[in-house]
Amino acid sequence: MAILPEINPTTDEVKIEDIQVGDPGIQTTAEIERLRQRIWEYRHLLIGKGNALPPAARGVVCDIDVGDARPIAQRVRKIAPRFREKLSDLIKGLLSAKIISYSRSPWASPIVVIVKKNGVDIRLCIDYRLVNSLTQLMVYPMSLINDLLEDLDKVLWHCSLDMASGFWIELERSQLSLPHLGYSEWNRMPFGLKNAPQIYQRLIGNALYGFTRIPPPGSDPRSTDVFEVGEADDPGKPSVIGRRSYIDILITADSWYQLCDRVDTLLEACDKWSMSISVVKSFWGMSKVEYLGRVSKDGLEANPKDLGGLTDLAFPGSPRSMQSFLGSLNYYSRFIEDYAIYAAVLSIFAAMSKDEVRIQIKRRRLDGDKVDPRWIRAHRAFEALKSKIASTPILRHFDASREAVVIVYASDWAISAALVQEYDQIYYPIIFVSRTLKSNELNYSPVEKEVLALLKILDLGYNMLVGRRIRVLTRYSLYVGMVVQINRITRAIRPMGVTAITVDIRDCEMC
């Protein structure tokens, strides 16, 4: 289901003082003004508050490839009479902002009206499920989160840029059925289409690294796709040093002068590809920015705003609600030590049928002694996870000058490991990793399970740990036993495509 934006026909006019640059308590006024003036030279790229249509990105077209499928025009959904006037106002806003236009395409997806919590206002969505089921998948590798967050230990300044309406690339055909208006089509690529994230990532990656040359100024952006007909860019041209996630771009620098130069290069690339930047959501020259969490020179921390709602949740009353809770923790599991050990207990509850859950709730009310032990363990694990969420630590950046220490642990049903480094005789976490054991691994000995945990973190932190001496802290494994199991298990997993890693355990201590 794709949500339509709430549209203003125009955006607020951008002023130079709206550009959020630096911290007056850290940088001098002259430094802040120098960077602000450089950004202001590209003010035509800056979009103020509001959702008016920005210019289309150049050289990329979203073509919905449905193969040989016959066109399908779905019926209009029912609209309650009390919402029709509000619906017409929203449609007028979309037309005024030139986000949609009239269409004669044989394809149509229905509008779905969602009532907001106040019971008065509405939100428009589009049901793209049928179109997406017919669309050919565009295979494109998405960025690995761990790669985006590496090598930030020496960085002093960050720029976090939010690309304004980044998914609104020129679209060839996508139609929606609107009551009272008939059929309309998008003028830009909307959220919700099957291949939208891949198309956007390819555009950003090419703009930052310069693989394909920008199309000539006189070409028609509707028919020119540089990834189909473009030429390779100059191999000697330097790339923009940037890290991009699905919407944001992170630019880092070791000094203020280096940051100014990199911002110049980035804005030049944005200008060439006609990529707009949101002034409200972009931050320039900050010591701490929100990027896949909250990044600073001290490390990576979870965003408290995102975690606040999770810590206040009551125990889920249905398996589906439990699955939703666990799904919301997928990214934040990196901040939680032994996450899989607790999540595995909750997964058992999530696999229960609705009838089983009803029986357990009834038994708990009538006679607490008859409650299934799985129910009790699930409640304890849920409270333990919420406690860990409320006290997530800062994950420090890896320091190549310090010794790498790995702490491994294994339970009957899960394994976990932590990469830590010592500061003032205290171990601080760098990476937490954990997973539940597969059915064939449940019968492994404690030593074998700890070796699996060690191999897991060596695989995740390969770029940081390769070629280094690693100290391993373990509860069960003796030095000789662990080395034997490492050699055996590494040989076993090598045919599966997992990179074999040579581990030199010279100082394996009991903890």
Predicted pLDDT at 500: 41
In this structure, the strands spanning 157-162 and 414-423 are unpaired
Residue 182: predicted pLDDT: 63
Measured CA distances, 1 to 124, 131, 196, 324, 325 (Å): 10, 11, 13, 17, 20
At residue 230, the pLDDT reads 62
d(CA 182, CA 122): 20
The domain locations on the chain are 2-296, 304-390, 404-510
pTM of the model: 0.72
Strand partners, 201: none
* Predicted local distance difference test score (pLDDT) of residue 434: 92
Q: How confident is the model at residue 429, as a pLDDT?
A: 93
Q: Looking at residue 76, what is its pLDDT?
A: 83
> Greatest CA separation found in the chain?
78
For residue 146, give Cα distances in angstroms to 69, 202, 254: 39, 19, 21
| Per-residue confidence (pLDDT) for residue 459, from 0 to 100 | 84
Supply the pLDDT for residue 37. Answer: 92
- pLDDT of the residue at 223: 54
Question: Nearest-5° angle of CA 430, CA 287, CA 281?
Answer: 105
At residue 416, the pLDDT reads 92
Topology of domain 404-510 in CATH is: Ubiquitin-like (UB roll) (3.10.20)
CATH homologous superfamily for the domain 2-296: HIV Type 1 Reverse Transcriptase, subunit A, domain 1 (3.10.10.10)
Specify the DSSP class assigned to residue 502: -
Provide the pLDDT for residue 237: 66
Model confidence over 324-375: pLDDT tens digits? 888 888 878 888 888 898 888 888 777 766 666 666 666 665 455 566 677 7
Q: Which residue ranges of the chain lie beneath pLDDT 70?
A: 1-12, 50-53, 153-156, 164-182, 214-238, 241-247, 293, 304-306, 308, 352-372, 476-511
CA-to-CA dists, residue 458 to 214, 355, 466, angstroms: 40, 42, 8
